[in-house]
Amino acid sequence: MTARDAIDLSAYLARLGWSGATAPTRDVLDGLIAAHTAAIAFEAIDPWRGVPVTIDLPDLEAKLVRGGRGGYCFEHNLLFAAALRAIGFRVSYLAARVLWLQREDAITPRSHMLLRVELDEGPRLADVGFGRLTPTASIALVADVVQPTPLEPFRLVATGSDWRMQAALKGAWRTLYRFDLEPQHLMDLVLANHYAGTHPRSVFVNDLIAARPMADRRLTLQNRRFAIEYRDGVREARELRDVAEVRRVLAEQFGVAVPEDPWLDERLAGLPG
């Protein structure tokens, strides 16, 4: 492992508040997923304010571990992969086409990444960066089996080489994304990250988005719309009034150290409802 690839594992685990075992087992994998997703919010403030998202490991550590920030899928999952490898897990990258709020047959870009983790009992998927419906536990790479997680049940549906990740919401299965099992190189993710962070049609360029799963609820923010969705299906939502309240919710509810940036405040002031 080179210095460029080596993560400061102690600092990462401290960021998560993790004091448990560090061994390449399923229990540790699931525990780290739950701790990571609760501690480090999904947020895409940087692409929304026009700041490039870099995914080199030192930049990810500076932002997500030491800087009190969150990130989107490439940031979360690359950081998580580095931590897993440092512990001794065998990890590869996969790419996915997001189908959330899309037709099932839509052809979308490969703008999402997830991880394949090899365990003695078989491969599992880890994805700590999907935002609105990030799974808070690993998912076994088997088709047509309902898999409980601390929040929603998930399942995988396979058709040939095509796999779909689905979550059960209010009694209906909803597809998050589709993917295949071809391992991706880091350069593949660099290109996908550039699209997600800069393309004028990217949702992250056009909307302020944040999400955070907790033990019994999910928090989401899209522009001024802040929502709390409980595990029992109860949903509370409200419009945030002004820049100060958006900043306060990001800091207090999502745990994000919001950048002090006059341009960011100008954009926040112009947020749609």
Return the sign of the alpha-carbon dihedral for residues 134, 273, 195, 57.
Answer: negative
188 is catalytic: no
Question: Is 97 in contact with 78 (CB distance < 8 Å)?
Answer: no
The Cβ of residue 245 has, within 10 Å, a number of other Cβ atoms equal to 15
Dist CA 150 CA 215 (whole Å):
7
Catalytic residue among 36, 46, 73, 76: 73
* Annotated catalytic residue within 36, 46, 76, 127: 127
Whether 33 contacts 138, CB under 8 Å: yes
Say which of 30, 112, 144, 265 is annotated catalytic: 112
Distance CA 159, CA 174 (A): 16
User: For tokens 């991706």, what's the residue?
Assistant: 184
| 82 vs 260: CA distance, rounded Å | 29
CB-CB contact of 12 with 61 (8 Å) = yes
Compute the distance between CA of residue 243 and CA of residue 86 in angstroms, rounded to an integer. 40
User: Does 112 qualify as catalytic in the annotation?
Assistant: yes
- 59 catalytic, yes or no? no
| Residues with catalytic function | 73, 112, 127
